[in-house]
Amino acid sequence: MIASHAHRFIFLKTRKTAGTSVEIALSKVCGPDDVITRISPEDEELRRTAGGLGPQNFESPPLARRAYNHMSARLAREAVGGEAWRDYFTFAIERNPWDAVVSLYYWKYKDRPELPDFETYVNEEWIEQLANNRRMYRIRGRLAVDRVLRYEHLADELAEVWAHLGLPGSPDLPRAKGNARPAGHYRELYTDASRTRVGEVFAEAIEAFDYSF
């Protein structure tokens, strides 16, 4: 999560949606009083190399509650306070669930010499946890942010947000966590059963954002 008092925005980080890359880009325009939560050590090194500010002001105090990576909208609102939440521009990112599930599959098992069976993986709890992305931009089931960007058009949509906020320069997205997945279309891994399973688990996001297989 990043909450910028300097530029009056709050970015809520969903999983497997290039959120780390966006955090790094945003941290380059943040000021000393802004809230920036921790990312992994290797990604912190990437952020330093890119010239972004590192984690700061995320503890409680000064916040009402400690802020952290992948924080839900409800808890983020508690952390920054109701006034900032109402007044600042809030945004997050969503991704085609069938694609996101494949991305998590390769990321989760990137250090294994052999990948486990994809069909088995799809029926485990991991994708249900991934479906909790909705909690990062919804509160009590209702959309709670000003905009949800589409991962599929992230560069263009982030540029629109950049312009809307009047941020300096233009967004420069580093490729964080992007080396685990081989080339190929996500559809290649699915059977009818695994496709249906993802469709059921992510039904809310699929309907809300009109995603299709």
pTM: 0.94
- Express each pLDDT in 67-80 by its tens digit: 999 999 999 999 99
| Both tokens assigned to 112 | 């294994």
Give the CATH number for residue 100: 3.40.50
Contact present, 147 and 158 (Cβ < 8 Å): no
Residues 6+ away with beta carbon under 8 Å from 149: 91, 92, 93, 94, 157, 158, 161
- Express each pLDDT in 92-142 by its tens digit: 999 999 999 999 999 999 888 899 999 999 999 889 999 999 999 999 999
Q: How many domains does the chain have?
A: 1
Residue span of the structural domain in which 71 resides: 2-209
